[in-house]
Structures are given as structure tokens and as C-alpha cells.
Amino acid sequence: MAADVAVIVPTLRRPEGLERALRSVFAQVGSLHRIAAVVVADNDPDGSAADLIERLRPQAPARLIYVHAPIPGVATARNAGLAATDAPMIAFLDDDEAASPGWLAALLAAQDQTGADVVFGPIRGRVPDGTGWTTAYLERFFGRDGPAENGLTADLHGCGNSLMVRATALPGPAPFDVAMNETGGEDDRLFTALMTRGGRFGWAADAWVDEFAPPHRATLAYALTRAFAYGQSPSQMAADRRDWPGVVKWMLVGLAQTAVWGATGVAAAVLRRPDRAGIYDRCARGLGKVFWTRRFEPKLYGAAMLSRGG
């Protein structure tokens, strides 16, 4: 088959992670002939990834494109990457991820098998040494599980480690909402709209990537803040659909989760249960369903991320 896939890697001041991600793309087995371009969308206002791209360009097995997207925000970076290629199939890999050698081939096989507009793959979470009793929780948090076999799925995930059919999943020149640049959730909004249009989602069981959490993110405080934001998603997606009964339903679910897991979390803290981080996570997600409006959204990305040093 002709080269028809562009791999887009948004990046923001992670040179080591970006090089690891790109080298994992260069090492793909069974799918290199499908890669029309590898696009790096540099979200650093200073354009710090440019030198690395020039150094790696001679080693790239396909066209390596550098795009400077100086306004910080992952939605801006994804849109800039899309604008740099006309490939009909788009694979997203984040700059803190490394793909297994058969990653892209597995995504393509699952898409061919299911006919899905978007295909997701599994992720192994990797955290630095020294995370203590939270290690197992953080590895699960930064990871992604799914079925053991390929197939259609009703579960929606993030853009990292995904393959999308451009014509159906990525409409228009800028499909990612830049209003979500600092809060994240641009992928949730995109997928909610696709679901409303009757889009289909698939799972590629063998499309493994590793996600390496940097030390400043591999903390319980950061994970629980993101868990709260994840909890907001069902209520926000219902609001985006103007499904107000659905919003009420999710808020009631959130109240119940907060009550149950909050009480359980207090007991777990007193008893110092080794699984208490997971209990706190469930409570945080319940709170997110209740406090779902924009004023409560944590700012974890874009300019807010730069202000904390990446």
C-alpha cells in the first residue's frame, strides 16, 4: 500500500522524551512503508526542538517535518501538526511515550478489522524510582488497559497512542478546540462530537506504548488533580450535547461516589492501607462530576504548564 499515515508528535520542552518517541517511530516494523511523514509540532515559544529535529533528520525513514506552534497549548499543537500534512490517516504519539516496534502495524490492522474512525491502543505507565507506596497506583494511572483482543469499543481515551481516519474523525482545518489549551479535554470534545455523528471507536490490543511520567508529574497530588479533571469529563460531555438530564445523572453519580469513596478514603488513610491512593482517585473523580463547570477546571497544560517548568 502507498504511504498514507502521518505520525504527529506534539512536544513542549522535553528533548529527551521527544528523541525517544521519534526513535521508536523510526524503528517501526511492518509499517514503515505506510508512513508518509513524521510531524513534530513544537509548542515551545522558543522553538527549542528545532535543533534536535535537524540532528535526527538524516536518520528518519520518512519525511520528518518540523512545525513551530508558539502559542502554548496541546490543541494548538495538534492543529498545527495536522495543517502540515494531508495524509488521510493520522497517528498521534505524545512526547512522553515510546512506541513498541509493532505499534503502528497493530493500529492499522485494528482499524482495517473494525472500520473504526478512531482506534486506541494500550499504554504501560512508567514512573521514576522513589515514588514509594504510590508506585503501583501511578503506574496504573499513567497507563491504559483494555480488552485482550481487537474490536469496537464504547470506551473513549486520550489522543496519545491513537490512529484516526482524517476524513471522519478530524473535520475542518482545526478540529481541536483551542479553548481547552490549558485545561486539556480537547480530545474528549472532539470524540463527543464524533460520537454524536455516529462515529465508531476501536481498540488495538497489540499497539503498545510506554508512557514515562517525569518526576514533577509522578506525584499523588498531580495524579489526583488530573483524576478530578477526568471526572469532570462525563458531565461536560453531556453538557456539550445539551443533554441536561444526563448532566444531572452524572452529578448524582458523582455525589454518590464522593460520599462512598470519601468515607472509605478517610478510613484507608487512618489504617494506612496500601491501596488508599486508588480510593482517593475514585473520590476525586466523583468530585469532578459534581464540580464540572469551567470555573473549576484545573489548568495543567499550555501556558500554565510552562509556568511550572514543563
Q: Which of 70, 81, 114 is nearest to 302 (CA)?
A: 70
Say whether both 146 and 231 belong to one domain: no
Amino acid identity for residue 210 in this structure: D
Query: Residue 306 pLDDT > 90, yes or no?
Result: no
Residue where one domain finishes, among candidates 180, 212, 244: 212
In total, how many domains does the chain have?
Answer: 2
Say whether both 170 and 226 belong to one domain: no
Range scoring the smallest mean pLDDT among 9-18, 46-55, 292-301? 292-301
Query: Residue 7 pLDDT > 70, yes or no?
Result: yes
Average pLDDT value for residue range 7-25: 97
Residue 237: per-residue pLDDT: 85
Average pLDDT value for residue range 108-121: 98
Say whether both 119 and 257 belong to one domain: no
Q: What is the 3-state secondary structure (H, E, C) of the chain?
A: CCCCEEEEEEECCCHHHHHHHHHHHHCCCCCHHHEEEEEEEECCCCCCCHHHHHHHHHHCCCEEEEEECCCCCHHHHHHHHHHCCCCCEEEECCCCEEECCCHHHHHHHHHHHHCCCEEECCEEEECCCCCHHHHHHHHHHCCECCCCCCEECCCCCCCCCEEEEHHHHCCCCCCCCHHHCCCCCHHHHHHHHHHHCCCCEEECCCCCEEEECCCCCCCHHHHHHHHHHHHHHHHHHHHHCCCHHHHHHHHHHHHHHHHHHHHHHHHHHHHCCCCHHHHHHHHHHHHHHHCCCHHHCCCCCHHHHHHCCC
Say whether both 146 and 230 belong to one domain: no
Say whether both 11 and 79 belong to one domain: yes
Range scoring the smallest mean pLDDT among 10-24, 89-103, 174-188, 265-279? 174-188
Query: Residue 305 pLDDT > 70, yes or no?
Result: no
Average pLDDT value for residue range 39-64: 96
CA distance 41 to 275: 38
Q: How much is the mean pLDDT over the chain? A: 94
Say whether both 55 and 89 belong to one domain: yes
CA distance 1 to 12: 33
Model confidence pLDDT, tens digit, residues 170-228:
999 999 999 888 888 889 889 989 998 999 999 999 999 999 999 989 999 999 999 99
Say whether both 154 and 32 belong to one domain: yes
| Local confidence band at 138 (pLDDT 50, 70, 90 cut-offs) | very high
Say whether both 200 and 232 belong to one domain: no
Say whether both 205 and 231 belong to one domain: no
- What is the CATH number for 208? 3.90.550.10
Query: Residue 310 pLDDT > 60, yes or no?
Result: no
Q: What pTM, to 2 d.p., does this model score? A: 0.91
Instruction: Pick the more confident residue, 74 or 39.
Output: 39
Query: Residue 46 pLDDT > 70, yes or no?
Result: yes
Residue 300: per-residue pLDDT: 74
282 and 257 Cβ atoms separated by less than 8 Å: yes
Which range has highest mean pLDDT (115-129, 222-236, 293-307)? 115-129
Query: Residue 292 pLDDT > 70, yes or no?
Result: yes
Say whether both 190 and 249 belong to one domain: no
Residue 240: per-residue pLDDT: 84
Domain span holding position 286:
220-307
Provide Rg for the chain, Cα atoms: 19
Residue where one domain finishes, among candidates 185, 212, 239: 212
Residue 181: per-residue pLDDT: 87
Residue 299: per-residue pLDDT: 81
Residue 1: per-residue pLDDT: 73
Residue 255: per-residue pLDDT: 98
Average pLDDT value for residue range 80-95: 97
Residue 130 CB coordination number (10 Å): 8
The DSSP code for 293 is: S
Say whether both 199 and 280 belong to one domain: no
Residue where one domain finishes, among candidates 212, 246, 278: 212
Say whether both 85 and 38 belong to one domain: yes
Residue 54 CB coordination number (10 Å): 11
